[in-house]
Structure 1
């Protein structure tokens, strides 16, 4: 891990029950960059995000955020340290309004004025949410739900955003808008993003770094442009 890296995953083994899914995974993500983790279903991509965010506990290895070892850190403390995780399926609470869902993302903040400013920033970023702030989650479209899940994470002002399959079930236009937003957040705010995505073309189009996983191991890590141009690697692991 170098001073430029915000996240380092070092020799992580993790899974569910006695059988590991991840096998000695090593990964670094430079601060202010987007890293896209791609690969076939069952490669271990979602498990990797869950291990980083504390949803599952690795059986060995280290996860380091900005120089701090996260082993044994409660999930609420991870949020305070600047880590946000938007899981697959978006996790919107359908009975709550848009505003109530968003405010959940800032409940841990003691400075209420800062929390309100963060909420206002999200409404400026996602104008459809501002227009529907009093509507319950179940009335939103798929694209609006994705905005809401992402906005709730951003209300907490994270340094590292873990984003799992944001394009799942969305129209191509909405996918393109989501990827453009990630690029803008990186450029304008310095947000670091670890993106898991089945839509490989979209992911590599926005990422700085591409990470290819297969069977719980990292096959290769390279600049995203290099992965897009490597026909043999694409055919072997990415299906195009």
Structure 2
């Protein structure tokens, strides 16, 4: 395992699947503090399975997951949140019957420092101005982009140091996708948040990422600077379909 720094994620030899069928095979990856790492690949490559394993929703059959130098395998989901890891799943996960304010409140319900929880909520409203205007609106009344903002905002009120983000551009118009990607870049630059971004929109993901990882059939085939991956025509044609 590499030498660790505060807030670094190191994954080595991760193998995980559903039942007896492995989906990920011997996966290695690193997310250094204050960086965005984009995981890309075709449908069925294992991207969502990777995030589910890192967030404690799936139990790996082999490998090590280290965060802040401590092993994460076997850690309960709620304890991962307390240790600074937040997961925004594909599909956004907004509770549509609740208002924006109530959804955000769920993100800090476990926190003891209620004053800081209120400050964190205010910061989310500053970051996502559309949510501030719609704080009393129910989730089902929001646009797709607003729901994605709300899902990310709910994760942020827990004050994470690592955000696991699954397909944030799914179903969004290009303009809204660009806004979401710009906000992720801003979070990295202004707060030092580390982000592991799973995304099928390769161009958008690589435009904001520091490093990129290409998955194919559950195996890492490339791990490199994001700019080099985006510029490699042969790689894109072979694994990314454009």
- Aligned-partner SS, 2:151: helix
Instruction: Tell me what 2:168 maps to.
Output: 166
Matches within 5 A, 1:1-240: 1-4=2-5, 6-240=8-242
For the aligned residue pairs, the C-alpha RMSD in angstroms reads 0.8
Distance in 2 (alpha carbons) for counterparts of 1:63 and 1:41: 24
Deviation at 1:177, TM superposition (A): 0.4
Cα deviation per residue 1:121-147 (whole Å; 9 max; x = unaligned)?
Answer: 001111111111111101001010000
Equivalent position SS for 1:84: strand
Which runs of 5 or more residues in structure 2 are unaligned?
A: none
Q: CA deviation at 1:10?
A: 1.0
Post-superposition Cα deviations, 1:140-168, rounded to whole Å, max 9, x if no partner, equal: 01010000000000000100000000000
Whole-angstrom CA distance in 2 between matches of 1:205 and 1:101: 30
SS in 2 for 1:124: helix
* Structure 1: 5+ residue stretches without partners: none
* Local SS of the residue matching 2:115: helix
SS state at 2:8 partner: strand
Q: Secondary structure at the match of 2:153?
A: helix
Q: How many residues align?
A: 240
TM-score (ref. length: structure 2): 0.98
TM-score w.r.t. length of structure 1: 0.98
Q: What is the deviation of 1:93?
A: 0.2
In the TM superposition, residue 110 of structure 1 has moved relative to its aligned partner by 0.5
Deviation at 1:2, TM superposition (A): 3.0
Distance 1:182 1:131 in 2: 21
What is the CA-CA distance between 1:108 and the residue it aligns to?
1.5
How far apart, in 2, do the equivalents of 1:144 and 1:225 lie? 29
Structure 1 position 3, deviation (Å): 2.9
